[in-house]
Amino acid sequence: MPEAALTEPSPRPVRIARGGWLDALRFIVGALIILYHFREAAPVPLGQLHPVFERGYLLTDFFIIDSGYVLARIYGDRLASGQASLRAYARQRLLRVIPAHLAVSLVLVLLVGGAALAGIAPSNPRWFDWSQLPAQVLLVQAYGVPGGQGWNAPTWTLSALIGCYLLLPWICRALWRWPPVAMVIGATLLVVAADIAASLWLGDPIYRLPMRYGILRALPLFLLGVAAAFYGSRVCVAPHRARAIGLAAAFALVGLQAFGAFSLVSLGLMTVIIWAAGAVPVRSPSRLIEHLALMSFSMFLTNEVSRIVWFGLLDALGQEAWSSGVRWVLWAIGLVGAFVAAAVFRYGFDRPVQTWLSPSRRGGATRMSAAATKQAMEWAAGPGVAAAGRPGQAVIDPPRA
């Protein structure tokens, strides 16, 4: 055998980076979630045009899987080997979510409370029951705690994901010794078994469980993303092959939606798409895609407030009496306004606060490098991402031990 063949290093999997397909997917799915939340406010509810507009639960499930994938790619090896400080990790995850959540909750409370003091009743008073608010503000509504309905209802996802985040160190320590293929098979079987159990005992499939069972819905899907990350960090697939697999999965997912939800199959296809996006190297990072993706957490968190304010105003002005054409234009303006509001929140509040809370800025000593901390703050932001970073500095995977 030639000497060069003996010394040639074996290929290693691609490390995930900013400004590529993972970022693009996050923004696209975040935009579709906004469209889903705005669907009923359209002059003709979008679900009447095609049932695909009623399948927003798949978009939420995408972000749960994606969160497991990204966090495991960033932290997995360090958590499994004990190199990452559990205290620093937990602090980072909680501070990434809670300040922005509390700020948006406060804004919504002030809006609804101020309107009530001015004698203006909301269009749908049942969605602003004050007794539902404490569980939502405390982010405990995904654990069977009564409350959390209405207000900024999508925050149940954050509630469930916090539990997943805090369990990740023990998940990695338990599973990182498994063969990659075995972990993928095991995670897939767990999702199927959880779906059967949820349907039999709770009356809903795993991918559509109501918010009070949010952690039961999120954890198997989060583990599916973790398994995809472990496989992606251990098994090298040629970029052209990963790209072809990802595109085939994307076409299959879109094609299936024309005929039905096929939800379990769709979950599998979404996982393949996420894995493939992480397996394709980012050779020319796009600053535009990076910034759009960095805004997706703010999009998720603020779009419901934007919808409530805009269409509450239009209802107060009597939009029901206006022509259909005018109402479609105003609906489109509201949709665009949700993106604008998210950008204002990201750059006016979320980004400055996260910069201020950064351990590297405040001199906090952790067993994770400042670079790893910054990268984690940028990527793993619940059902979205939000933080600053330059594409050239954005290779995410820390070296394996």
DSSP 8-state secondary structure symbol assigned to residue 347: I
Query: In this model, does residue 170 exceed pLDDT 70?
Result: yes
- 92-128 pLDDT, tens digit each: 999 999 999 999 999 999 999 998 888 887 878 889 9
Give the pLDDT mean for 325-354. 96
- Give the pLDDT score at 360: 60
- Give the pLDDT score at 13: 86
- Give the pLDDT score at 10: 59
**Cβ-contact 164, 218 below 8 angstroms:** yes
Handedness of CA 21, 23, 26, 27 (dihedral sign): negative
- Give the pLDDT score at 123: 78
Give the pLDDT mean for 5-20. 73
- Give the pLDDT score at 246: 97
List CB contacts of 71: < 8 A, sequence separation 6 or more: 165, 168, 226, 229, 376, 380
Query: In this model, does residue 234 exceed pLDDT 90?
Result: yes
Write down the pTM of the prediction.
0.88
> What is d(CA 43, CA 320) in angstroms, rounded to the nearest whole number?
9
- Give the pLDDT score at 12: 82
- Give the pLDDT score at 156: 96
Would 398 be classed as within a structural domain? Answer: no
- Give the pLDDT score at 394: 34
Query: In this model, does residue 146 exceed pLDDT 80?
Result: yes
Query: In this model, does residue 243 exceed pLDDT 90?
Result: yes
- 291-323 pLDDT, tens digit each: 999 999 999 999 999 999 999 899 888 898 999
Q: How many domains does the chain have?
A: 1
- In the chain, what percentage of residues exceed pLDDT 70? 87
Query: In this model, does residue 3 exceed pLDDT 80?
Result: no
Would 136 be classed as within a structural domain? Answer: yes
- 190-201 pLDDT, tens digit each: 999 999 999 999
- Give the pLDDT score at 87: 92
- Give the pLDDT score at 389: 31
From 106, 216, 114, 120, select the one nearest 151 (Cα to Cα).
106
- 63-96 pLDDT, tens digit each: 999 999 999 999 999 999 999 899 999 999 999 9
Would 401 be classed as within a structural domain? Answer: no
Would 217 be classed as within a structural domain? Answer: yes
> What is d(CA 143, CA 401) in angstroms, rounded to the nearest whole number?
35
Give the pLDDT mean for 335-339. 97
Would 2 be classed as within a structural domain? Answer: no
In which domain, by residue range, is 48 found? 20-389
Residue type for position 223: L
Give the pLDDT mean for 245-269. 95
Q: Which range among 8-22, 130-144, 239-253, 303-317 shows the weakest confidence by mean pLDDT?
A: 8-22
Would 399 be classed as within a structural domain? Answer: no
Would 169 be classed as within a structural domain? Answer: yes
pLDDT-based confidence at residue 401 (cuts at 50, 70, 90): very low
- In the chain, what percentage of residues exceed pLDDT 90? 77
Mean pLDDT of the chain: 87
Phi/psi region, residue 332 (left: phi>0; alpha: psi -120 to 50; beta: rest), is alpha
3 state DSSP class of 56: helix
> What is d(CA 123, CA 281) in angstroms, rounded to the nearest whole number?
48
Query: In this model, does residue 5 exceed pLDDT 80?
Result: no
* Residue for token pair 């499930």: 61
Would 32 be classed as within a structural domain? Answer: yes
Handedness of CA 56, 328, 322, 152 (dihedral sign): positive
Alpha helices (H) along 123-238? 133-137, 156-175, 180-201, 214-234
- Give the pLDDT score at 125: 85
